[in-house]
Chains A and B, each alone.
Chain A
Amino acid sequence: MVKLKIFLVLLLLTGFIFYQCSENPIDLNPDLVGSNVLGTLKDTVLYAINDSSYQTESIISTQFSSRLILGSVTGFEARPALRISNFFRVPDSATILNAQFHLVRGGVSSKGMASPMMVAIRPVLNAWTTNIDEVWDIYQQNIDPSASYATFEINPEDTSDILVELNPEGLDKVIDWYNLYWADPDSISPNNTGILLDFQNSNFLQYFYAINTTLDTTSAKLLNPGLIISFSLPNDTTIITDTLEFNFDATIYIGEIPKIADRDYIATLFPHSTLLQFDLKAFLDRLPQDVSLNSANLQLFIDKQNSLIDKNLGISHTVTLELDKITATTVEVDSAKGRFLETSAWGPDSTYIEIKSGDSRRRLATIYLQSQLINIDSTSGFVISIIDVLNPPPDVITNERNYYSYLAFYTAKDPNPALRPRLTIKYWVPPPPRL
């Protein structure tokens, strides 16, 4: 009995002691913590020591683009081409009475004040599938400039759909395509060569939704380019109207980005990448070995006068690692690793781009920089380029095939040091060992 009482007393005492205990760790009054007990959060700004830019491809396919581009700006010209080959919804006994060409606008881009442009729908001479087909090497040789199926004006201020009735010559061509289809519905005739939207003078780019565009989910409106066909059937006076979607499209584009000296470039459609090299070895040599990288930011200042910045459409680019030395004659970009960082954040005053705040800055530090610092002898720098963004929403054009844009960056040798590319690295220096 006595032992039982002792047991109970011990139990209660132990419970009381632990009830009194507070959670650890204790939030200690800062005055009680010595200055050398805690680590220090620091940052270092590195300026690029070498830089360059180069064109990675001369032209890219727009086959899976969700936008068509029409117009001209700063030496760049773009013309949409379209083919329609499926007339299944117009019976073979029908009589086509009328055809209207329909496009839905998808935005405008220009360098300055834009003025209306006249557009002509011209016949294409040879069959094609994409814009990089050989027949488009000299696009003028693949159209009949003397023929026109319709002409219309595009006003950059206007956002309404393009709806143009084809002239009799154009209607005859549609009837030809219709007959070719029903002659052999299972194959596409090489004589069905399509049309091209042509212009003579333009100082802006007009975007249209392409055949890869899906429905506008908010309005359920069909955004794809199409032909609105009116037809009648034998022994029936009813006129039936139906919209047929184009089956092929492409943006036939020519030109080059207008470069000036002492600038680095990134661009869409004429893909350019910018190489940047920072003296990470010197940075590493200055550091205690046991620091921890926490965050990093890359800032590139933009020469806006010599850039085409489409703020409405947005721009995205990525930082990837470079495999070869920056001085190598053959530069390879390690894009296969898929180490994409979003750098589409604009600086507060829109004069520079920087790594998006949040995860991207953490990843820049812990994935990109850390791996370069670990392999410091084979470290060569960063490659900045505009790349595809997977699964863009219909309203956001972020795919490099979908729009035309280029950015001119101030270089590492710019007379104004404040405009040079910079890399800010944030790191934690631990306290000295206690023992």
Chain B
Amino acid sequence: MKKFLLSILLIFSLSVSGKSLSFFSSANDGIGYHQYIPSVRGLGMGSTGLALPDSVSLNAYNIASWRYMNITRVNMLMRINYVQTDFPGQSFNTSTGKFSGVQFGIPIKKNVVGFGLSITPYTDVDYSFTQNLTNELGSYQENVFYEGSISRAQVNLSWSPHPNYGFGFSFNYYFGRIRDRYKLTFTSSENYNTNYVVEYRFKGPGFSTSFDWNIINKINLGGFIDFKPKLNFNRVINSPLTFTQQKTTENGKLPIFWGIGTSYQLSPRIIVTSDYANQKWSEGLDISGLNTQNLTDWYKWGLGIERSHDNNRPKVFINKIDLRAGFSLGQIGYLFNNEPVHEYTGHLGFGFPFYQNRARLDFAFIGGVRGDKQKNLAEEKFFQIFISLSAGELWFQKLR
């Protein structure tokens, strides 16, 4: 176990050295690449998991499924992202590491009422490029950095009035900032090298609800809906001319975000899932002056399967772990070259239960293609590793 934890720490420490997430996170009028990480277990199964009963890890969207937790739980996620970006006549590789969320849940009344907190990445922007420019006024290099993220913090309550179904309620608080940084470096000392920053700040409350329903013995249905949060949007520019800060404030809303999923227990150790999530990004942020012409609807559809570990102390290693696979397709919510950008992803996952199944280390390996070099002028081949540690300890309960 110590070696596993050591490997996670090592990967965490390495992950900060990389940069750049996705070219498609830099869309004009956009707030970055939309993150959708229900759970690392679900990511291994084609980005599903809304209707996946799980007493070990906590789902980031379907809070109603927290009704399965019977001890205090904490869930930490991170990811490593490797992207090969191809433009016509140009190609490069980048990578980044990100902390990807945390959930903390306490069963107030075992399998009936649960309470918890969570932070989930909502969007992410991390892209930079440079241009060497020359005109009659001089030669200079312009470096452009788009960086930042928006996150969603939640106070969650799950309630299961009946063993077959439950509900989840969350108070959400959205927060984050995106910085567009421009750095000009001139070849001649007669020019002042400019640094210019525009910062977009978001904050605001929202509400979401979810459900989990065991329709019949082998079939589950789950879903969530994030109602339109009211956003306070600030655009902050530190004028390099007058050294004054120009701050404009607007009110806006994020479109409704919803998802629904189902799972079917094929056999005691095999379960198949399918989820669909959608957000009408084409509606925009409802902020006056912002265009929606670069926006289109975001969606993700996934299909997955899991062969779970054998609880009867198997001797063969493959039976000691959970094996997962899946496929997903989606649309990232932005138009590039006036065309929607699609994403096709293959998923593999592994779960390593330990501490008598009270904890689990989950890995998801995701690879796919985003965009199209002809249609979108850019194509990204990406490979991501997601890691989550789901822990639950009796001493948590003893503390209470």
Contact = CB atoms under 8 A, between A and B. Distances in A.
Interface of A: 2-4, 6-7, 10-11, 13-15, 17-18, 20-22, 24-34, 36-39, 41-43, 287, 289-295, 357-362, 365-366, 370, 373-374, 426-428, 430-431, 433-435
B54 interface: no
A373 B242 CA distance: 7
A47 B85 CA distance: 49
Interface string B185-202: 010111110101010100
A32 B190 contact: no
B395 interface: no
Contacts of A43: 137
A354 to B, nearest CB: 11
Contacts of A7: 3-4, 6-7
Given A25-B129, A428-B194, A32 B241 contact: no
A30 B131 contact: yes
Contacts of B17: 18
Given A2-B317, A33-B129, A289-B237, 20 more contacts: A7-B4, A15-B14, A17-B95, A22-B94, A34-B28, A38-B131, A289-B244, A290-B237, A292-B241, A295-B192, A360-B190, A362-B191, A373-B242, A374-B241, A427-B241, A428-B194, A430-B196, A430-B198, A434-B28, A435-B31
B216 interface: no
6 contacts: A13-B385, A17-B383, A21-B93, A32-B377, A360-B190, A430-B182
A41 B138 CA distance: 8
Interface string B211-225: 000000000000000
Contact of A294 (B6, B146, B192): B192
Contact of A290 (B191, B200, B241): B241
Interface of B: 1, 3-4, 6-7, 10-11, 14, 17-20, 28-31, 80, 82, 85, 87-90, 92-95, 128-133, 135, 137-138, 140, 142-146, 178, 180, 182, 184, 186, 188-192, 194, 196, 198, 200, 233, 235, 237, 239-244, 246, 287, 290, 317, 377-378, 383, 385
A370 B243 CA distance: 10
A433 B200 CA distance: 9
Contact of B129 (A17, A18, A28): A28
B191 A294 contact: yes
A38 B143 CA distance: 9
Contacts of B178: 435
Given A294-B194, A362-B189, A366-B192, A435 B200 contact: yes
A414 B144 CA distance: 45
Among A26, A370, A373, A430, the most chain B Cβ lie within 10 Å of the Cβ of A26
Contacts of A37: 28, 144
A138 to B, nearest CB: 50
Nearest to B31: A435
B191 to A, nearest CB: 4
Given A38-B144, A370-B241, A435 B29 contact: yes
Contact of B29 (A4, A431, A434): A434
Contacts of B241: 287, 289-293, 370, 373-374, 427
Contact of A434 (B128, B138, B180): B180
A29 B11 CA distance: 32
Contact of A28 (B131, B189, B244): B131
A272 B7 CA distance: 76
Contacts of A357: 188, 190
A28 B130 contact: yes
Contacts of A291: 240-241
Contacts, number: 188
A3 B242 contact: no
Nearest to B125: A434
B202 to A, nearest CB: 10
B192 A25 contact: no
A32 B90 contact: yes
A98 to B, nearest CB: 58
B192 A24 contact: no
Contacts of B28: 34, 36-37, 434
B196 A292 contact: yes
B14 A14 contact: yes
B192 A362 contact: yes
Contacts of A365: 192
Given A28-B90, A362-B191, A18 B95 contact: yes
B191 A295 contact: yes
A359 B188 CA distance: 9
Given A295-B190, A435-B31, A435-B178, A290 B129 contact: no
A3 B3 CA distance: 7
A290 B30 CA distance: 22
Contacts of A31: 88
Contact of B18 (A21, A32, A36, A292): A21
Nearest to B10: A11
A362 B129 CA distance: 26
Nearest to B363: A10
Contacts of B137: 41-43, 426
B131 A292 contact: no
A358 B189 contact: yes
B99 to A, nearest CB: 16
A29 B87 CA distance: 8
Contacts of A30: 131
B143 A21 contact: no
B93 A22 contact: yes
A39 B183 CA distance: 10
Among A294, A359, A374, the most chain B Cβ lie within 10 Å of the Cβ of A294
